[in-house]
């Protein structure tokens, strides 16, 4: 073995004796386990001015603000998705002289677009279900905003409902994507099955 051979042997031994280089793992997210299927049951509470179908894996509870059942908040409810850590806050107002339709629409638009600082975009989808007397707007908020989906639903004469999907974590669109994608059809189903009384 000549000088060249000894050089290569020494170089290989030197490279082989180095301690391993630490390579950090890329950031990851916890696995989100979604229910196996979309199944529904009816929300039909006596005295409420609306009914709708909601996922069987969710629970409808009174909004904590509406514990006092007198006044304009008594028909506010939350649809909680315990396994996913999310909740849809539903608020309802009767259209009246004090709360005219255009005022409610303006307030809802303001609340939806108040996320513009954190949002990458805000898309609006207008929907109508003439058979139920329901129309409205579904807002999709992109980016790391506090909510991914919001909506309004109304008959433009007597009833006005607003909903917003929130999660009990710091907003991160990437980590929440499996849950928001899974819940999107449930929001659509709620709106399609919404009926006024």
Q: Give the tens place of pLDDT for each residue, 129-180.
A: 999 999 999 999 998 988 999 999 999 999 999 999 999 888 888 888 989 9
Structure confidence at residue 18 (pLDDT): 63
Structure confidence at residue 66 (pLDDT): 53
Structure confidence at residue 158 (pLDDT): 97
Greater model confidence, 188 or 27: 188
Q: What is the mean pLDDT of the chain?
A: 88
Strand order in the sheet with 195-196: 40-43, 50-55, 195-196
What is the arithmetic mean of pLDDT over 81-99? 93
Q: Cβ(182)–Cβ(34) under 8 Å?
A: yes
The candidate with the shortest Cα–Cα distance to 77, out of 103, 47, 107, 105, is 47
Structural domains present in the chain: 40-196 (3.40.1000)
User: Given a cut of 80, is residue 106 above it in pLDDT?
Assistant: yes
Burial of 11 (0-12, 13-18, 19+ CB in 10 A): exposed
């Amino acid at each position: 073995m000549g000088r060249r051979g000894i050089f290569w042997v020494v170089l290989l031994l030197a490279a082989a004796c180095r301690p391993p280089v630490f390579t950090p793992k890329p950031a990851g997210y916890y696995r989100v386990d979604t229910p196996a299927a979309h199944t529904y049951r009816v929300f039909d509470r006596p005295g409420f001015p609306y009914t709708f179908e909601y996922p069987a894996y969710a629970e409808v509870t009174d909004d904590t603000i509406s514990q006092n059942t007198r006044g304009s908040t008594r028909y506010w409810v939350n649809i909680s998705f315990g396994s996913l850590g999310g909740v849809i806050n539903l608020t309802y107002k009767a259209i009246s002289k004090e709360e005219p339709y255009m005022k409610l629409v303006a307030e809802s638009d303001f609340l939806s677009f108040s996320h513009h600082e954190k949002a990458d975009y805000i898309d609006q989808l207008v929907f109508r279900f003439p058979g139920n007397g329901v129309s409205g707007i579904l807002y999709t908020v992109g980016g790391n905003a506090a909510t991914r989906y919001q909506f309004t639903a109304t008959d433009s004469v007597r009833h006005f409902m607003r909903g917003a999907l929130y999660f009990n974590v710091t907003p991160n669109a990437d980590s929440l994507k499996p849950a928001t994608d899974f819940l999107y059809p449930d929001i659509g189903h709620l709106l399609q099955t919404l009926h006024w009384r």
